[in-house]
Structure 1
Amino acid sequence: MNFLKKVLKIISLSLLALIIAALMFIGIYSQIGNSTIKADIENYGTGLLVVVYDDEFKFAFSINGKINVSLPITEQSEIQIIYFDEALFRTTFRSRFINAYLGPDSEVILKGSADEWGVDYDVVKGNEITQQQNELRKVLQPYYIDESKLYRRSWELKDSDPNESKRLDEKLDSLSLLTVEPLRTEWAKKHLDYELSSILFLESHVSRDTASKYEELLSEHVRNSENGKRLTGMVAGWENTESGKLAPVFSSISSEGEVFKLEQVKGKYVVLDFWGSWCGVCLKGMPKMKTYFDKYKGSVAFVGIACKDEEETWRKMIEKQQLDWIQLLNNKEEVDLPTMYGVSSFPTKVILDQEGHVVFKAVGENEEFYDKLDELMKEEYLTSSQHD
């Protein structure tokens, strides 16, 4: 019995040591980076946080509502902070998020208070977009709180009353898609001198016609900003990749270290696959892409274009997924291929004909792309057979 007690004591001490080491690591790691976000939120409590940025995340702490985290920011990025347990157990939605924008070598300081359902704060120090974002957040916070209440209740009923849980999920979707998102767009229309508006016009629920119309109405200051230029480029990309248009040409270095030029695959159908190693939906669709590559590789040139990826991560994913077709890594410093092709959601697949004209553009992982490719290859086979 004494031996067992000693073993349990050793195990307990070892676990405690591991926990302490992990907490120390998180505390040190949260201070690595060139840009900083600090917050002092009354009643926010103490606990583990998840900080999301640039499709990455890191852990940090709230110590009695005081937050201090540094991030390795290379370009202006939206930051979201949420309690880890709230994200894990779906206890709140956007009403408890802390949001800001950070650029390289910058600092944002927030001060406010929290309750069970929401966080209210002001920007003590920060860039204009963070100020604008907080202004919009205060307008939408009542709706965000309603979202959180539906979100939590649906989760609580998931096992005991799945039908009611599903009904609440549908109500949440309706609130978000039919009320909150349109309100965000209407707010942007009224603030054409805000850089944040140029970001909001690129949200997925905003129609291209709306984005194109209001891009022209933005103030000169906003149009010349980083995000304004991105919106302008995206609008041009949409126009350049309309069905029947001659696709924009480009060149890039492949994963094999060779120069790839779009013109070199002229004479074949071409599939441009915009994806990312961070994109779960993209990776889920890779097995079917591999099947279609094997099926049509004699007639179709497949070109993968990884976006928002680090080179090392990109190369590892190519090897892990065994992607045997041409692979490119987008380098927006040279030419931003997603913007050139009007791509803002991933995956997006673009089919070009033998002369380089846009035939089809599929957003998301869906059967339409594969059906269209089958249809084109069937037509190509019938045409070739007739000529023979």
Structure 2
Amino acid sequence: MPRKSASRATAAIPADIHVPPDFGARVVNWQRVHGRHDLPWQNTRDAYRIWLSEIMLQQTQVSAVIEYFQRFVATLPTVQALAAAPADQVMALWAGLGYYSRARNLHRCAMQVVSEHGGVFPTDPTVLATLPGIGRSTAAAIAAFSAGVRSPILDGNVKRVFARCFGIHGHPGERAVETRMWQLAGIALPAAGPRQAEDMVAYTQGLMDLGATVCSRGKPACLADAGACPLSADCVARRDGLTGVLPTPKPRAAIPERSTVMLMVRREREVLLRLRPGSGIWGGLWSLPEMPVETLPFDAEAAEAAAFDYARAYGAPVRAAIAGELTHVFTHFRLLIRAIRVDVGAGDPMVQDGATEATQRWLSLDDLDALGTPAPVRRLLEDQARGGLF
């Protein structure tokens, strides 16, 4: 049975929180006048495009997503095309957006929609939420935008709006705080009625727009102009001077540092890449081979000598030299990458560490878009393509 949408008749408002009865209507009316209306995934009921944009926008800014979205739908315009696409093509289109498990789940989800749902996305949020990579909030957003379904969302922007408007303390990622916000999200929905489909599109987009453009992390627009936000008259954070405090940030832990040594094996204008395992960091992407760090205390001269010896299985090494160094920051750690370039002869390379043609390839520096590579590796390869380093 489909889950019933929360409403004022079935959900109790917490005694210490005031939800204006016209909360939903205010957001709807504001969005129709002041919200965003020209994003490439808007003004459509195509669930494929809506779903794709929602997955891309998870933990990524709108400005960064637009180009990727347009390139993705130009190449794979339907869920059927995505389901049938090779994994390498999907990862190449995604490369640079980060959080690569999203791309793997995207591919799996497309296959499941085709095989189990006839290529048509479900409109019930509870069914959508069973598909790979689709959580409760994303499912509700897809259902609202594609079919006008009345169901609450609670992404990062919405959590910030709710925390400030209703004066909710505590990190939104904590279970108790998030549970309370979900309760409020159900209560705050615009009333059901003959315009429900249109209202839910405007309301869902309006909450996202408020969090992104008005109730921003740093300087909420309401501090300079009370009329910028339709909720300012009832906003606890604005009233009590708490916009800089709410939402409560996650306690910070020290970011650990790791290091790796990558081998840039060059054969004229080609570079050797290895396919990373499907799970873990950069899963399913093509990257430079990594040397056993435990055998390589990083002394530049010793490192180059070890890299020279390590590269023998790929051909006849000609020379080795430090090629570059950069730091890449992940969510939970900072990675120091040192790259050592080794030029080899033009002969066919031997197989190293049990690699096969499916897991090891030569990539032309003139065709870097052919394979999906991690962002820092792409930077190293682009520098090589420009003739940098040595």
TM-score, normalising length: structure 2: 0.24
What TM-score do you get using the length of structure 1 for normalisation? 0.25
* Structure with more relative contact order (C-alpha pairs < 8 Å, separation 6 or more): 2
